[in-house]
Amino acid sequence: MTELVTIAGVQTPRITHQESPVCTTQQLAQFYGCTDRNLTDNYQRNADRFEEGKHFAKLEGEALQAFRRLYPADCGVQISTMARSLYLWTELGAARHAKMLTTDKAWEVFEEMEGAYFRAKEATALPQPEKAKRPRVSERYREAAAITRDQLKICKLLGVDDGMAKVITAKEVRNATGLDYTPLLANVTATNNPRQTVKELAERIGNGTTSEMVNSALEQLGFQKKEHWTGSKGHPRSKWVLTEKGKEYGALAPYQAEGHQHSGMRPVWFASVIALVQPLVEIAIAERSTPKTKRTKTAQEELL
């Protein structure tokens, strides 16, 4: 939960960046009793007196999006959705702005900020980012929750089916925070029967059985059906989905195709289904191996 502090009569969240207290331009303006534009103009006129990493941090791109997720609008940090960059001021940066405003109030407020906001005995520069540095555990879970909420909304707007949306979201959470929720996506409890893909079932049946034969048998048994839809680029798409009858023998599980980004949810099957599938597969194998008889031409056809 974001800590709230009161500076110059203004209640505001105490925010951090790379574990150091910082504040936005809007917060500084509220504390010092001026406008955002005053501070922005002062910075632009005296840019050579400000050093990035010492007086401020500038967030752009993914860093800005991650900060938005950590501090959404409902926690009290107002960031314009149109903003392409964000300046976060350190204790040294806040002091430099107070000096440029040349008002007694600004210095009085800064002294209040030293104890109540920055809580630092000495003003220090922002620490340099470390390779593969992970945020603290509490921040990781908060960011994971924010990513999940936002990603599911986006997928819903784009018409992505629920199973695919969950896989995409879990992947985004894992990439951004290192937290892997993929094992939780299966929609059934564990059983003594291991779940197997259609390809694995075909290998177990053997005798030249193909995935296509197994899929066809599962469809004939009424355990799965093919769902068709049009993709975002207008291309026809399809996938196998479980029927109510098929849920007794299978489940949906997430997958990531090897070699490319295709992923989603697909049926996987308990070993008990083999006894039902195998007779239909054997019929298909027999039909495939039976040589086709050559039709004898009729006398009329011979004359043509």
Encode pLDDT of 51-81 as tens digits: 999 999 999 988 888 888 888 877 777 788 7
Cα gap 45→97, rounded to integer Å? 12
Range(s) within the chain of domains with CATH label 3.10.260: 4-118
Cβ–Cβ under 8 Å, residues 52 and 58: yes
pLDDT of residue 20: 87
pLDDT of residue 121: 41
**Where does residue 69 rank: exposed (0-12), middle (13-18), buried (19+ CB within 10 A)?**
middle
Query: What is the percent of the chain where pLDDT is above 70?
Result: 79
Task: Report the range of poorest mean pLDDT among 44-48, 111-115, 263-267.
Answer: 263-267
User: Looking at the predicted structure, is the pLDDT value of residue 218 above 60?
Assistant: yes
**Where does residue 38 rank: exposed (0-12), middle (13-18), buried (19+ CB within 10 A)?**
middle
Total Cβ atoms within 10 A of residue 174: 15
The SS3 assignment for 136 reads coil
Locus of tokens 């290192």:
178
pLDDT class for 44, splitting at 50, 70, 90? very high
Mean pLDDT of the chain: 80
Token reading at 153: 């909304």
Cβ–Cβ under 8 Å, residues 264 and 255: yes
DSSP state for residue 178 in the 8-state scheme: -
pLDDT per residue over 158-211, tens digit each? 766 676 778 788 888 888 878 877 766 654 333 334 578 999 999 999 988 999
Token reading at 109: 């407020």
**What Cα–Cα distance (Å) separates residue 207 from each residue in 130, 216, 278, 289?**
55, 17, 11, 12
Domain 4-118 = CATH 3.10.260: yes
Token reading at 208: 């030249």
pLDDT of residue 105: 83
Cα gap 209→216, rounded to integer Å? 11
Cα gap 60→83, rounded to integer Å? 9
pLDDT of residue 130: 47
- Region 218-238: mean pLDDT is 86
User: Looking at the predicted structure, is the pLDDT value of residue 303 above 80?
Assistant: no
Cα gap 154→63, rounded to integer Å? 19
The vertex-252 CA angle with 154 and 269, nearest 5°, equals: 160
User: Looking at the predicted structure, is the pLDDT value of residue 243 above 80?
Assistant: yes
Cβ–Cβ under 8 Å, residues 263 and 167: yes
Task: Report the range of poorest mean pLDDT among 189-203, 205-219, 233-247.
Answer: 189-203
Check residues 260 and 193 and name the one with the higher pLDDT. Answer: 260
pLDDT class for 124, splitting at 50, 70, 90? very low
Task: Report the range of poorest mean pLDDT among 85-94, 183-192, 220-229, 272-281.
Answer: 183-192
Handedness of CA 277, 283, 287, 289 (dihedral sign): positive
User: Looking at the predicted structure, is the pLDDT value of residue 224 above 90?
Assistant: yes
- Region 109-133: mean pLDDT is 61
Distance from the Cα of residue 37 to its chain's centroid: 35
Cα gap 218→281, rounded to integer Å? 10
Task: Report the range of poorest mean pLDDT among 218-222, 260-264, 284-288.
Answer: 260-264
